[in-house]
Structure 1
Amino acid sequence: MKIEPLLKYINKYVSLTHEETDFLVSKVIYRKYLKGQYLVQQGDVCKFSCFVISGCTKTFYMDEEGQEHIMMFSIEDWWTSDMSSYINQTPADFNIQFLENTELIMFPYDVIEDVYQHIPKLERFFRQIIEKAFIASQKRIVRNLSMTAKDRYVYFRDQYPQIEQRIPQYMVASYLGITKEFLSKIKSQLLTED
């Protein structure tokens, strides 16, 4: 199992013993997905919280008109899940689709409590990860409310250059809450300013 990237990531927060590592390896699932497949779709229950080993995902909401609203992307060393669905085991609000062939380490819902019981420090680890995600989500809401579309794009481009190079521009526009035509105008403006 290609678990080394996950262990390296966990070790930034907590140190695992050999026994704890072995137990964790026995509980998680390594899986490959193909571009275009889904981890979860709206209305289904999300059974996994996932660490991305390689690849790229998008988390999005599809409204009643069939319009896609991208909430987030996940790449290597990031996490992906519909957390509300995963934690509460209720129908998912979001779709998670693979934008590239992707490798994941998956934490099944039905073993996570067992993992916490055997390795209590992982509960602290996941609390810290969820706190960081919550803060990032709040900051994104503030940016969306207070920044112009141009400033939001510049922020996205500067913060996540490795994502922008891997996804179509219409997805960047959806993430920013603008049309792809408006994004093209913004990029043209920025080119003339440089």
Structure 2
Amino acid sequence: MNAIAVYVSRFVELTPDELTQFTEAFREVRIVKRQFLVQPGFIARSRYFVLKGALRGYVVGDEGQDHTIQFETFFRMLAERSTAYMQRRIISNLTESAPERYDRFLEKYPHVVQRLPQYALASYLGMTTEFLSKIRNRKVKRK
């Protein structure tokens, strides 16, 4: 498994096919210290993922001073993962019923559900504690 596959697998659960498809979209580029990834005036037609080290995005002002506008590091992946996770939660809250959200939570985190206070779980799932209690009671009665 290549470096990006190993790294991404630490944070995102992908099937082997998804991982292959994902990694095939990348090619490794090694940049030495103080080397430009993108030259001034060049239009970047690729996206880059930093596995090790950091890149600095900057512009040069009228007086010739560098103005750093961003840093790209491997920590960016964590931020992107968090954003993707929040988007999935929002979509889930908009498209799934409360019982469906509860069932999906049980499937994904079966070991956590008994350790959480009901009010915290209900809040996370976007429902009242009373409604969560009704969902749980219905599940018990069905068994």
Who wins on radius of gyration, i.e. which is larger? 2
Structure with higher RCO (Cα < 8 A, 6+ apart): 1
Higher strand residue share: 1
